[in-house]
Chain A
Amino acid sequence: GAGVSQTPSNKVTEKGKYVELRCDPISGHTALYWYRQSLGQGPEFLIYFQGTGAADDSGLPNDRFFAVRPEGSVSTLKIQRTERGDSAVYLCASSKSGLVLENTQYFGPGTRLTVL
């Protein structure tokens, strides 16, 4: 079956521009997560959706970052006024439900964002 997919795989933008990163979770997975992985580091949590609502957005670094999941499936991470420090690989993951014991998160290949 299809795994988590993310588009684009690579995105190069200029400082100050707006970008959108898309995530398609595994079909039927109600929970969706965004992480950010900087070079040489482990992934850092950004936001978690249960269904259409953001259940935990405590990892978003500032108000330039926003994410939506309007129909409870596809999610879009939006970054306004990009800065060079936003350059990283953005990872999306999904899990079958929000139940902790079923919290096996399946990761997509990521979108590599480069801000020039």
Chain B
Amino acid sequence: AQSVTQLGSHVSVSEGALVLLRCNYSSSVPPYLFWYVQYPNQGLQLLLKYTSAATLVKGINGFEAEFKKSETSFHLTKPSAHMSDAAEYFCAVSAKDTGRRALTFGSGTRLQVQP
């Protein structure tokens, strides 16, 4: 069975500072990995996904994530935070070996951006 751990339920950064949201996965076979963002009263929106091509994945809104097999990590970063980045971020995995389609989500990290 696969699982995802997001370290830090709340992260606060200053506007213009680096954003780093941590995600570690547990899976016998490296899975497909996703980052979703959820703005208040809105649906989940895909930021980026890793499907075993390039290990550094660029997404929307200036976000990127790097797949590190040795560390079983897929941390999300953005060089400079904007106020509009304040939201909840979810890391998710999907099995590559079983073909099971369901996403398994982490418990989320709420990002606050201070002016």
Q: By the criterion CB–CB under 8 Å, are B32 and A103 in contact?
A: yes
Is residue A7 within 8 Å, beta carbon to beta carbon, of the partner chain?
no
State in angstroms the CA–CA spacing of A103 and B106 once bound together: 18
Q: Interface extent on A, as a size class? A: 20 to 34
Q: What is the total of A-B residue contacts with beta carbons within 8 Å? A: 64
Q: By the criterion CB–CB under 8 Å, are B43 and A108 in contact?
A: yes
Residues in B neighbouring A56, C-beta threshold 8 A: 100-102
Q: By the criterion CB–CB under 8 Å, are A33 and B102 in contact?
A: yes
Q: Interface extent on B, as a size class? A: 20 to 34
Interface residues, chain A, with chain B CB atoms under 8 Å away: 3-4, 31, 33, 35, 40-45, 48, 55-56, 58-59, 91, 93, 95, 98, 100-101, 103-110
Name the interface residues of B58-115: CB closer than 8 Å to any CB of A: 90, 92, 94-96, 99-108
Interface residues, chain B, with chain A CB atoms under 8 Å away: 4, 9, 32, 36, 41-46, 49, 51, 90, 92, 94-96, 99-108
* The one of B41, B49, B90, B102 that contacts A42, using a Cβ cutoff of 8 Å: B90
Residues in A neighbouring B100, C-beta threshold 8 A: 56
